[in-house]
Structure 1
Amino acid sequence: MDDPAQTKPDPVRAGTSTTGPDRNWPLNSWWVAAHASEVTEKPILRWIAEMPIAFYRTAEGTLAALHNRCPHRFAPLHKGDVEGDNLVCPYHGFQFAPSGQCVNVPTQEKTPAAIRVRSYPVVERYGFVWVWTGEVERADPDLIPADLAYLSDPAWHVVWGYLPVSGNFMQMKENVLDLTHFAFLHKNSAQITGWDRPPAVEVANGRVTFRQLFDMQPLPAIYAVPAGKAPGKLVNRDNWGTQLSPGAHHGAVDMHDPDPGPDGLERFALRIIHLTTPVSIGKTHYYWAMARDHGQPFDFAAMRAQASVIFGEDIEIVEASQEMARCTADHDKAVEFSVAADRAAIEGRRLVQAMVRNEAAE
């Protein structure tokens, strides 16, 4: 698996993204920074919304997230060690509490109260580490989508992975809001057919949801094999997906086999989770997860390899589009056309744009 610590913004914003040169993410939002298993007593670095953040666990296992720049001589704090609850700067040994307050300067008895770093609200939920990048008083953990609770349900099998993306986070979000690309981009890897018409779209309560019903259609192998079904068997599929927040989306395949046979599954479900966190205008952390309520536990290595192929196709086209935007001299004059199948993606874009505008107006 690729190391997310290697994903960081360019030293200078080079060119533009497909969405333009300006920040297009809200700050008052929860973003996934890591899988919970990645954060230990050894600090790690994540660039989130163009800010370097050091994540670590205290001696009791509590999460902490501090701005990764020591205010003494600007050394990166994630290269230091944890002593008890405190993160120790690797350069001169200044110690910072989870609150961000410097609590010890080794070379003097009194520690100036003014020495501190920013502390970020951080929550472990559904197997992931979520960080809030906006105003601290607005950091309500209840804003983390409760819809993802099945990720912590022992009745569901779960697998996860990480892939870096050299593209804007909204490109990845819009990609999973329009699955008509399956018939073209994933025609060989996923072999999921039928996405040949616009889905129904609903916008409500700050979310956008699309839904497509497939009545008695051949079941692709990727869905059939875990359920013990023959690939190609005719079943009913309810495909839907919801943009839950700026950083979280999940898709669903709810399946119904009206002729399951003896001991066969009549109803079974799969969830595909896409967690997109902006690194910069042109880079994204992409954590994904899959969950199913049937079959055997996932073979992590096999599933990650398969996901790297399918999701890798998404990333390849997103990165190619990003490269076009950065390198083509007339991109600022390019006109983007949308069609009926783009409605969910456009509505998702509008919801996030409204959040950014509202923050700017405050």
Structure 2
Amino acid sequence: MDDASALSPDPIRPGIGTSGTARNWPLNSWWVAAHGSEVSEKPIMRWIMELPIALYRTESQEAVALHNRCPHRWAPLHMGEVAGDRLICPYHGMEFEPSGQCMKVPTQDNTPSAIRIRAFPVEERYGFIWIWMGEASLADPDLIPADLAYLEDPAWYNVWGYKAVNANFMQIKENVLDLTHFSFLHKNSLGVTDWNRPPKVESANGRVTYSQFFENSPLAAIYAAAANKTPGKIVNRETWGTQLSPGAHHSAVNIYDPDPEPNGLSECFARVVHLTTPVSVGKTHYYWVMARDHGGPYDVEQTRAFIGKVFAEDVTMLEATQDMARRAADQDEALEFSVSADRAGVTGRRLVAAMTDAEKMQQE
């Protein structure tokens, strides 16, 4: 028998974010295009902010990002190959330098200087390839959050993963700025059920941070294993998270054990990094990193499987809300109510909106 609940109207909106169906991201910011291990001498493609980008490495292993469209007959350049530092079009063999300048048209002796494609500034840092989609002259590498330096610290261990999300990037950012959903959405997978009151929220220098201290709290299993402690042990836990930039967020779980085991840790620290890059209003690249200063190297496959399961709970909910908003005829008139626990998320939304609106005003 058919499932009546599965029958729904066709989408009437291409995508929707916290600011509606228009672009709600700034171009003049650093965004993660790929993990460094994904980019090699064989070109790959990423859709970023509704533009196709070809990514590859030169002979010296420098990362390059070019507009993934040959200006001759619009062939996707990532389907071609790299020779030396040049990306060669798979259709008619035109060769492009990392600067985007066409250096060779195989069928003629001269190469018009007007034939070129856009090259995007890129930086490789903390294991990721960061791309600047806005005005190239403003692409200051120092704007990549230095707070993430522990990802390159040999004293820390980390593992990364990726999810393709059919939802707006700000929905993900607001989700990680409000952990009161842990007690409901993740109550079975994580077993962290004491997020039952609003955290302290501070905003300064274009960032927003939430923080909360849990005194004499049972240690959840997810934190206990790496610290070699028994799940449920009573410890003190400090948790905070910061929206570092429109595309980067990290959160912390600091464990303080007033009664450590013999030769056990009295304190240990863990971080979760969320890197979100818009594909469009309704789609997002979502890279994540788990990091800690204890417990030895991660079991990569086991960790990816577990974290993938937990984050799938978030993604399922976000995609469901996105899909509902795309199909409901009354969505444009719908009211959204916020409560005290939403303060960090709403502040983060406003900070990104202010950057985006300022950019749009300059372009008018």
| TM-score of Structure 1 vs Structure 2, range by shorter chain | over 0.9
Aligned to 1:8: none
Aligned to 1:306: 306
- Cα distance in 2 for partners of 1:308, 1:15 equals 24
- Cα distance in 1 for partners of 2:41, 2:261 equals 51
Q: Is the 8 A contact 2:199 2:211 kept in 1?
A: yes
Question: Which residues of 2 match residues 1-362 of structure 1 at below 5 A?
Answer: 14=14, 16-17=16-17, 19-362=19-362
Structure 1 segments, 4+ long, off by >4 Å, are none
Matching residue's letter, 1:113 = S
SS at match of 2:226: helix
- CA deviations 1:4-61 (Å, max 9, x no partner) are xxxxxxxx97254454110000000100011000000000000111110000001111
Structure 2 unmatched runs, 5+: 1-11
- Cα distance in 2 for partners of 1:33, 1:49 equals 11
- CA deviations 1:266-306 (Å, max 9, x no partner) are 11000000000000000000000010000121001000000
Q: Is the 8 A contact 2:17 2:171 kept in 1?
A: no
SS at match of 1:154: coil
RMSD: 1.0
- Cα distance in 1 for partners of 2:99, 2:267 equals 48
Matching residue's letter, 1:360 = K
- Cα distance in 1 for partners of 2:229, 2:268 equals 11
Q: Is the 8 A contact 2:186 2:313 kept in 1?
A: yes
Q: Is the 8 A contact 1:18 1:321 kept in 2?
A: no
Cα distance, 1:261 vs. partner? Answer: 2.4
Matching residue's letter, 1:249 = H
Q: Give the 3 Å change call, closer, same or farther, for CA 250–15 of structure 1 in structure 2.
A: closer
- Cα distance in 1 for partners of 2:21, 2:147 equals 33
Q: Is the 8 A contact 2:18 2:349 kept in 1?
A: no
Q: Is the 8 A contact 1:15 1:327 kept in 2?
A: no
Aligned to 2:9: none
Q: Is the 8 A contact 1:18 1:322 kept in 2?
A: no
SS at match of 2:182: helix
Aligned positions, number: 351
TM normalised by structure 2 equals 0.95
Matching residue's letter, 2:93 = G
Cα distance, 1:216 vs. partner? Answer: 1.3
